[in-house]
A = this chain, B = another copy of it.
Amino acid sequence: MISHLETPIPIHAQPVLCETELVAVLVSISNNTPHILTLDQGSAFPSGPLMVEHRSLQKGMRNWVEQQTGLKLGHTEQLYTFADPLHGRGHQMVRISYMAFIRQNSEHTLAERSIYDYFPWEDRRDRASDPLLHIIAERLRHWADNNSNRWQRCATVFGLDNHAWNDELSLQRYELLWEAGLVPESTWQNAPVLPGLSMHRDYRRILATALSRMRAKIRYTPAVFDLLPRQFTLLQLQQAMEALAGRAMHKQNFRRLVQQQKLVSRTAEYDSPTQGRPAQLYQFAPETAEHCYLAGAKLPLPAIS
């Protein structure tokens, strides 16, 4: 034991007062694409001050959002806490960000903006984003120049040079583009910047964090079911997974794995399609819900890396 560690570090030496704000990333699915609720022409998330009467942060967030919007929140998860100095005022601003899922519902369309409006390169369900990926690869190669470590990093994060695309790395991809000056938020810009909406403050970074987290979350927990209607077809489930992961999947294998997991049970009802055979409606199996959540049963998605 080194001696100076035995001196307790002073607690509350000089308490610095902070303004504390809760930031909510509210996610739902519409048009087979993940959407978020935004304010200010898509450049901000709803946010509000932390109230004294909030007993816990999570409860505070839920109450506040439900009160303001009337929306019921599903799976809720703390993302990250950021701090900015408030210049000249001698105190700081702390922002605690949360992500919450909202069930798809015909009565409202919460969704204002597609997440992929902000990160067009993250939607790789079809080949439409390939040209953009090629542009990014070229611009990154130029930025990396002859720095091989830097290029190594680009290649792994963006799945170039024989590397597989890993959908959970969306935050790292955004950070890399930021460093390379390819997004308008970069302190120095390597104009022209890439397509994709930007946001105020570090909100787009928070959104990239949310995208990473939701992609990881749906793989290991049944959180997707908080985005789908109570009853859904297997195709809807697959499309929701594909929408979030930004990747297409093999239908037969998807069903094999879904039914192995016993996460869903069929109902007596059927979909009413415009054409073709009506699809059976399923529901999230309530009896195994908690069980699977905790055991880390994973939903089928192509294995990463």
Contacts and interface: CB of A to CB of B under 8 A. Distances in A.
Contacts of A70: 2, 4
Interface string A38-59: 0110000011111110111100
A102 to B, nearest CB: 11
A31 interface: no
A243 to B, nearest CB: 20
Interface of A: 1-2, 4-5, 8-21, 37, 39-40, 46-52, 54-57, 60, 68-70, 78, 80-83, 85, 90-92, 94, 96, 107-110, 112, 149, 152-153, 156-157, 163-164, 166, 168-169, 172, 290-291, 294-298, 304-305
Copies of the protein in its oligomer: 2
- Between A56, A110, A156, the greatest number of chain B beta carbons within 10 A of the residue's beta carbon is seen for A156
B294 A153 contact: yes
20 contacts: A2-B69, A2-B110, A5-B110, A8-B46, A10-B48, A12-B49, A16-B50, A18-B18, A20-B20, A50-B92, A56-B83, A152-B291, A153-B291, A156-B295, A163-B295, A166-B295, A168-B296, A296-B304, A296-B305, A298-B305
A19 B12 contact: yes
B108 A69 contact: no
A146 to B, nearest CB: 16
Given A83-B54, A110-B5, A169 B294 contact: yes
Contacts of A290: 149, 152-153, 156
Contacts of A19: 12, 15-18
Nearest to A292: B156
A107 B1 CA distance: 9
